[in-house]
Structure 1
Amino acid sequence: MGIEPLPAGTLLRQWRQRRRMSQMALALEAEISQRHLSCLESGRAMPSRAMVLRLAEPLGLPLRERNALLAAAGFAPVYRERPWQAPDLASARQAMERILHGHMPHPALAVDRHWTLLAANAAIGVLIGAVAPPLLRPPVNVLRLSLHPEGLADRILNYAEWRAHLLARLGHEARSSADPVLMRLLEELKAYPPPPQARGARPVPVEEAGIAVPLRLASAAGPLSFLSTTTVFGTAVDVTLAEVTIEAFFPAEEATASAMARLAATG
């Protein structure tokens, strides 16, 4: 027996509570009366298509969840979800490839909403060179690759700090999206044992940290230190495209920049 879909009002209330907004706050943001919002959440009234989209905006719902709320209210999805390799997304894929290639000689990669690897540039080899082959079989999960005992874990010099950063970010994404796949991934990553060099280590307190959490990595070229940036397609109206993230790693110090340049020249 399948699980009964939740009514639109219940979904709306859950998202409002997840965003820690009162009925009054959401009603003010959406420019409707609190009484009307209460009727929508209780099921005494059904939202129009326009009202669903109006309420989704101040709630900051991802496109996928806007479609789900529309469906719960009895309307067809507004936002299309094309396969990543669809012809309509060719220009987006080309833009992504330009970003990845243009970031050489430093690592950059693209992932979907579940942190599944979509593409990467050649410099990613410095990160995954010594990873156990099973972790590199598609679909490759980048977060699993980072913290798995047979992944990057034993090469990450600031493992406790990097782990805390990744878990905090994933936890925020899981709570914000209510995505069960991300929630399961979070629990999986939390259960991984630390590598020997990190046992007993604690993350650096925020007040003692620098400007950002670096990824410090042991490599054949010596210790490497990177800062990461995140890029998204800001005007996406396709569900798949809206969920693509490009992670680019920049050298955090001159020694890393020089090492990456040497690796590119000899590679």
Structure 2
Amino acid sequence: MQEKMNVHAFSVVPVNNTASLETLLAEISKLPLELRIRTVSMTDYRIEHIEQKDDGYWYVDFGKFRSTHGPGAASKTTPIRGFVFQTDEVFCEETAFLYDPHTKHAIIQYNHYGTRAGAMQDFFNSFVDAEVYVYEFRPKYDADVERRFLERQAITKLDFAIDPRLFNNDDRVAGTSLAQAIDIGNQSNGSKLEVTISAGRKRNHYLSDIIDNTAVLLKLKSEENPFSVSRLQVGILQNLDAKIEIVDLIAQRLSRSFNDICVGEDLRFTREARYQALNSAFNSWVRLF
């Protein structure tokens, strides 16, 4: 049996000349399982497996403990039943992570219910007290698209599509136009809301700071949850006399889907199959790092 898995690329940037991530990974690899647990935003995470293989890459498997309502087991001829847990056991979602010490880049499996890239960053940053290890995980984009977006002088067009069900109150940030868009989607029971805002063709005519802030928030939201924003195209000006450039902050982000991930007898992706997918993605992108 085979299923689909998505992966994304990130650069790993040490903050304030902190020690390298591979130093921390080596330290964690020496610890027993029970000492690899850290709490991030009231949720417990643990590194289930960690190993530096002969290719020089670190392979890490995160577990996210989940005690909330979960699935059951059933067939077409038998009623659904719950899983039988041992004492103190709960659901635990797995997410694979590959890190290359040479290029300082990571490839991360996307698991909607598992450990997200932001939680991994916070996990590592809080692993040792006194901020000994501090890193930023920055999503990787094709060519120089992110540089052009960050260096924009103004925005002339914003074209996006979101799933309003995946936005919460924290996303209703003052200084953006998202609150109203989220309300429209929720009030209509819509699963997809598409919006295009354009400044027109007048010379020196560009959109307000509210729209600029909205573009930034949508970019961050798409990095946190790729399913929340399915389209994000921004018309930018590098200077106020320049021609409009369109940057696509979804299509130009480094991501890849694998449709042939092996599922074991327990209907879970095997760890080795997930690691192989991360390795394949990394090798296909390494020239960009």
More helix by share: 1
Same fold by TM-score greater than 0.5? no
TM norm structure 1: 0.31
Structure number with the bigger relative contact order (C-alpha 8 A, sep ≥ 6) is: 2
